[in-house]
Amino acid sequence: MAQPFEIACDESGSEGEKLIGGNTAVFAHASVRLDVESAADCIQQVRSRAPSPTTEYKSDVIRRKKHLNALKWLLGPSAPLLGNAHVYLIDKTFFAISRLVDLLPEHDRQVMADTLYREGGQTFGPDKWHAFLDSFNDLMRTKNGRGPVASADSVFTMVDTFRRTAPGSRAGEIMNLLWGSRSHLDSFRAQLNPLFPAIIQAALYWGDAGKPVSVVHDRQTLLTQARIDELKETRSAKGRLAGLRLVDSRLDPRVQVADLLAGAARMIAEDELTHQGDAELTALLRPYVDAFSIWGDERSWSLLAPIAATPPART
């Protein structure tokens, strides 16, 4: 087997398993392929364009409006990232809906997730729909040991209401199918943390030629040794993800660069998702975006997706 090469990763927008009603609507995971010296020089170049007294230069500095030129430099052709960095984006609401339709293994999950993402709020009312997704999110977090927040009965009471409210609509028909899946819930386990599929996708992207990848990642309490071993054995990552070690980002400039890129990408993508996008920044981010990002909104994806990309992945 070929010797693995190393990439450095960090994320922005991580709130654990909280996908609905949190502080961020988008999760971004950045991976960079730079040596330590090049990464340190990149950080110094950014500092010179956007001075800050902070010891560890974080993405919140470069996201400030007064440092817009530094951000444009980082994403542009004069910086070392183009061709050496990648970003995986996750629209958290769509990710939650995708996990919801996983309750229906015998049906077309992609079509149903798309339908609910587009039509759920319109059909059932935005406030009620948001409350339902929030309750489902909390129910799945309960199943992952987060303590009782929502009950299955309360969630399926809302499902019952929705299916009766709009029985002839496409969203109502999906709610009717979900109502019939109630008996499967006790054995259902939804993986809600976007960090795990993001790490796997980084390994798949950089190891596309069959070369194994070793990941250096900023410390995450969720990345226990047991979880790391599980990720390495995941069917799609097996043979690609050779290893994953956690480091203090203050000691590794490559991870600091990944933090800058992840934070910038999350801000730009979230602005685009909420119709507040900056056309120049979105265009600068586009070459870095993973074509298999998990994204539900067609308008913003048409602007964020790399040129000639396929539709985003529905996982």
Burial profile 13-31: b = 16 or more Cβ within 10 angstroms, e = fewer: bbebbbbbebebbbbbbbb
> Quick check: 140 and 127 in contact, CB under 8 A?
no
pLDDT band at 228 (very low <50, low <70, confident <90, very high): confident
SS3 content of the chain, % helix, strand, coil (to 5): 50, 10, 35
User: Which of the listed CATH numbers 3.30.70.141, 3.30.420.10, 1.10.10.10, 3.40.50.2300 matches domain 5-92+192-304?
Assistant: 3.30.420.10
Residue 296 has pLDDT above 90, yes or no: yes
Q: Residue 74 and residue 270: Cα distance in Å, rounded?
A: 19
Amino acid sitting at position 97:
I
Annotated domain spans of the chain: 5-92+192-304, 103-187
* pLDDT 10s digits, 41-91: 999 999 999 998 887 888 889 999 999 999 999 999 999 999 999 999 999
Tracing tokens 């971004």 back to the chain, one arrives at 28
Q: Residue 268 and residue 103: Cα distance in Å, rounded?
A: 32
- Angle at CA of residue 215, ends 314 and 295, nearest 5°: 20
Tell me the pLDDT of the chain averaged across its residues.
90
Q: Check residue 315 and give its pLDDT.
A: 46
Q: Which residues contact 178 (CB under 8 A, 6 or more apart)?
A: 100, 101, 103, 104, 159, 163
Q: Residue 31 and residue 68: Cα distance in Å, rounded?
A: 22
Q: Check residue 234 and give its pLDDT.
A: 84
DSSP-H helix ranges across 125-250: 126-143, 152-165, 170-179, 195-206, 225-233
How much is the average pLDDT of 237-247? Answer: 87
* pLDDT 10s digits, 263-295: 999 999 999 999 999 999 999 999 999 999 999
Residue 101 vs residues 47, 92, 112, 124: alpha-carbon distances, Å: 45, 15, 7, 17
Q: What are phi and psi of 17, to 5 degrees?
A: -90, 5
How much is the average pLDDT of 94-105? Answer: 92
**Selection from 141, 171, 200, 143 nearest residue 15 by Cα:** 141
* pLDDT 10s digits, 130-167: 999 999 999 888 555 555 567 889 999 999 999 999 99
Q: Check residue 146 and give its pLDDT.
A: 53
Q: For residue 27, what are the β-bridge partners?
A: 90
> How many residues are present in the chain?
315
Q: Residue 297 and residue 306: Cα distance in Å, rounded?
A: 15
Q: List the single range of 119-123, 134-138, 224-228, 298-302 with lowest mean pLDDT.
A: 224-228
How much is the average pLDDT of 25-36? Answer: 97
Percentage above 70 pLDDT, the chain: 93
Q: For residue 243, what are the β-bridge partners?
A: 214
**Selection from 141, 164, 165, 161 nearest residue 151 by Cα:** 141
Six-digit token string for 15: 């709130």
pTM: 0.92
What does R_g of the chain's alpha carbons equal in angstroms? 20
Residue 313 has pLDDT above 70, yes or no: no
Residue 3 has pLDDT above 80, yes or no: no
Question: Which contacts qualify for 55-61: CB closer than 8 Å, 24 or more apart?
Answer: 55/250, 56/249, 56/250, 56/256, 57/256, 57/260, 58/256, 58/259, 58/260, 58/263, 59/12, 59/259, 59/260, 59/261, 59/262, 59/263, 59/264, 60/263
Q: Residue 236 and residue 254: Cα distance in Å, rounded?
A: 26
Residue 310 has pLDDT above 60, yes or no: no
Tracing tokens 């489902």 back to the chain, one arrives at 136
